[in-house]
Amino acid sequence: MSQPLLLLEVNCPNCQAALTHGQQVILGAHLVATHQDGEIRLSALFGDDQVQTDLAMGDGDVATFTCPYCERSLMVETPCKLCGGPLASVNLASGETMEFCGQRGCRGHALGGFGDVDEMTDLLNRMFKIPHD
């Protein structure tokens, strides 16, 4: 039997609007280098790095994100621990937060806090209802 996929139900931390639609998280995006604005669709499946957008976004390009409903920034001041790029933050339906890097190709993200591995493991165990110490 295979483990169920973890579908991340996320909300805007500002207006609480649902950002997950089906298996995608829909956000407003601004590409820093080219000043392009548009929509970006991130996979809502934890660990799936698929991105869909009409923006001309290459590997290493940096984007900042906004809520498509209230148009407020989702960016936080803490930089990504992997690449130093900008981090965005959304709320999980469970009440936790998830931060993710705005640099294309960086796998920096953290459930439940700014990259604390113990917090992330504990949160995943709770979400999958896995007994743990």
In a domain, 116, yes or no: yes
Q: pLDDT at residue 27 above 50? A: yes
In a domain, 132, yes or no: no
In a domain, 83, yes or no: yes
In a domain, 20, yes or no: yes
Range of the domain at 100: 10-127
In a domain, 1, yes or no: no
Q: What share of the chain is helix, strand, coil (3-state, %, to 5)?
A: 10, 40, 55
Query: Coil, strand, or helix at residue 121?
Result: helix
Q: What is the mean pLDDT of the chain?
A: 82
In a domain, 5, yes or no: no
In a domain, 3, yes or no: no
CB 53, CB 38: distance < 8 Å:
yes
Give me the number of domains the chain comprises. 1
Least confident of 1-10, 76-85, 92-101: 1-10
In a domain, 86, yes or no: yes
